[in-house]
């Protein structure tokens, strides 16, 4: 058993301006997906604009505290505590901004009809603070842990390669980048212009 | 995609309100109302201070649960530890661990979610039974019957469904239907039915019928 108050959860500020409060990861929950989000200031992003088509998730966004303005499928809705938006259709674009300085939104989601699998983006989000401070070993370890469960996840492999390239592990970077490109050829195009690979771009084995 | 709307907005205060036969907690069935399919999620309310907001129970079949206190303040007991959980508190409980919570303030509300690791979620028939019995007690037998029917259609071969239908019908005074469902339940799992039926007051209205004795000698 473990207990935490939402304000005590780790606060990971994302490059897009919203703050991820990892709930599932905090407790090590394996059976379902749940996270909390806060904003840096009123008017700030609290749910990033996204769709769920790739993962096929149904999602519930529940306002735990404060107020938020959601935009779902192009329509705005202002929601207060105890209100929620259920996005059944994964292809609908959704986002939200906080309207109060203490707004908290809980996001619950998963794919119907399948056992829950931990979303790969959680590891990428969790590695953000370490990457920001160039603690590459830590960022790499977070990716490696996620890859033990999803060894053929191309985006995770690509991200891992980025961090290995930045951290001076050039052989590992080339290996993981090649594997990512093999699984999803689109990553080769990204790699050619990605500044993370500056140090290995001219190595033999770099995907061209 | 079905013809259901792509998204819906609602407040937990708009949900139906169902009281339980045992304990004092009130269920506001969120998952059922939304038709949310990935995992279980419901709202529980202790309407008066001291009422249960999470009934005392374990999840012996492997359901991992997270409780989020949404309003008020709950007094949680998990295993043998008791603590205060004000709004914003998240409590994670592994499957077989005992847990319960009572409201310290009127209207204390908890969002509860759960599922089994490694298994695709199937909505539990308990949600339908909870609604069915509550509707029957409130004098809405037809609405109750509709909820019961949903459970029977979802799990046609579960003894619990047939048994609960028998209880519902016995309470509603429908002797013939109750006996038919009891017979079905016995066919599906005689041992389980024999374990529960003798002490189940829901079946009192049919217990003196000779056909009951024939089914459960």
pLDDT at A84 over 60: yes
A3·B91 Cβ contact <8 A: yes
Interface of A with B in 136-175 (CB under 8 A): none
Q: SS3 of A82, please?
A: coil
Instruction: Give chain A positions within 8 Å (CB) of B88.
Output: 5-7, 64-65, 104
pLDDT digits (tens, 9 = 90+) for B42-51: 999 999 999 9
Percent with pLDDT over 90 in chain A: 96
A1·B91 Cβ contact <8 A: yes
Q: State the pLDDT at residue B155.
A: 84
- The average pLDDT across A198-208 equals 89
Instruction: Give chain A positions within 8 Å (CB) of B39.
Output: 31-32, 108, 110, 116
Q: SS3 of B109, please?
A: strand
- Provide the 8-state DSSP code for A77: E
Both tokens of B200, joined, read 């189940």
Strands (E), A15-103: 18-21, 33-39, 45-50, 58-65, 68-72, 75-79, 83-87, 94-98
- Comparing CB atoms, the residue among A9, A79, A92 nearest residue B6 is A92
Residue-wise burial string across A157-194, b where 16 or more C-beta atoms lie within 10 A, e elsewhere: bbbbbbbbbbbebbebbbbbbbbbbeeeeebbebbeeb
Q: State the pLDDT at residue B71.
A: 98
The rounded distance, in Å, linking the Cα atoms of B147 and B37 is 17
**Average of per-residue pLDDT values in chain A:** 96
Q: State the pLDDT at residue A1.
A: 56
Look up the ipTM and state it. Answer: 0.92
Q: Which of B20, B12, B207, B13 is nearest to B132 (CA)?
A: B20
pLDDT digits (tens, 9 = 90+) for A101-136: 999 999 999 999 999 999 999 999 999 999 999 999
The answer to whether the beta carbons of residues A167 and A137 sit under 8 Å apart is yes
- The average pLDDT across A147-160 equals 96
Q: Which residue(s) pair with B66 in the sheet?
A: B92, B113
The rounded distance, in Å, linking the Cα atoms of A115 and A113 is 7
Q: What string of H, E and C letters represents the secondary structure of B119-150?
A: CCCCCCHHHHHHHHHHHHHCCCHHHHHHHHHH
Q: A28 Cβ partners below 8 Å, 6+ apart?
A: none
CB contact A107 to B (< 8 Å): no
Percent with pLDDT over 70 in chain A: 99
Domain A120-197, CATH? 1.25.40.10
Q: State the pLDDT at residue A205.
A: 87
- What domains can be seen in chain B, in order of their start residue? 12-116 (2.60.120.10), 125-215 (1.25.40.10)
User: Which of B1, B2, B7 should one mutate to test binding to chain A, selecting the residue with the greatest count of A CBs within 10 A?
Assistant: B7
The rounded distance, in Å, linking the Cα atoms of A14 and A31 is 25
Domain A6-110, CATH? 2.60.120.10
Both tokens of A188, joined, read 């080769």
- Comparing CB atoms, the residue among A2, A30, A89 nearest residue B117 is A30
Q: State the pLDDT at residue B61.
A: 86
Residues of chain B with pLDDT under 70: 1-2, 21-22
- The average pLDDT across A36-52 equals 97
The full set of domain ranges for chain A reads 6-110, 120-197
């Amino acid at each position: 058993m473990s207990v935490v108050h939402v304000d005590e959860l780790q606060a990971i500020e994302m490059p897009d301006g919203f703050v991820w409060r990892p709930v599932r990861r905090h407790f090590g929950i394996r059976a379902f997906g749940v996270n909390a989000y806060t904003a840096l200031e009123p008017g700030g992003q609290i749910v990033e604009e996204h769709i769920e088509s790739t993962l096929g998730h149904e999602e519930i966004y529940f306002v735990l505290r404060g107020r938020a303005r959601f935009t779902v499928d192009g329509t705005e809705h202002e929601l207060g505590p105890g209100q929620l938006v259920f996005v059944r259709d994964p292809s609908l674009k959704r986002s939200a901004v906080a309207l109060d300085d203490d707004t908290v939104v809980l996001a619950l989601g998963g794919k119907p009809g399948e056992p829950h699998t931990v979303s790969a983006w959680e590891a990428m989000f969790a590695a953000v603070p370490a990457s920001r401070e160039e603690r590459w070993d830590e960022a790499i370890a977070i990716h490696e842990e996620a890859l033990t469960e999803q060894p053929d996840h191309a985006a995770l492999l690509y991200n891992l390669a980025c961090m290995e390239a930045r951290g001076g592990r050039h052989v590992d970077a080339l290996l993981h980048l090649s594997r990512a490109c093999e699984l999803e050829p689109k990553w080769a195009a990204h790699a050619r212009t990605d500044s993370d690979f500056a140090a290995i771009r001219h190595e033999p084995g770099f995907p061209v | 995609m079905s013809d259901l709307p792509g998204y819906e907005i609602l407040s937990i205060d708009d949900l139906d309100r169902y009281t339980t036969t045992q304990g004092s907690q009130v269920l506001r069935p969120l998952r059922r109302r939304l038709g949310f399919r990935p995992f279980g999620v419901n709202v529980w309310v202790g309407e008066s201070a001291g009422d249960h907001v999470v009934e005392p129970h374990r999840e012996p079949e492997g359901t991992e649960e997270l409780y989020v206190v949404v309003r008020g303040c709950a007094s949680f007991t998990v295993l043998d530890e008791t603590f205060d959980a004000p709004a914003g508190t998240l409590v994670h409980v592994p499957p077989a661990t005992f847990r319960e919570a009572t409201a310290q303030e009127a209207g204390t509300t908890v969002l509860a979610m759960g599922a089994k690791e490694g298994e695709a979620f199937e909505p539990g028939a308990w949600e339908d039974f909870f609604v069915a019995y509550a509707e029957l007690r409130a004098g809405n037998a037809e609405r109750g019957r509709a909820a019961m029917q949903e459970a029977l259609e979802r799990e046609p071969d579960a003894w619990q469904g047939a048994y609960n239908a028998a209880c519902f019908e016995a309470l509603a005074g429908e002797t013939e239907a109750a006996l038919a469902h009891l017979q079905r339940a016995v066919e599906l799992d005689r041992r389980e039915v024999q374990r529960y039926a003798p002490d189940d007051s829901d079946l009192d209205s049919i217990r003196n019928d000779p056909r009951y004795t024939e089914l459960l000698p």
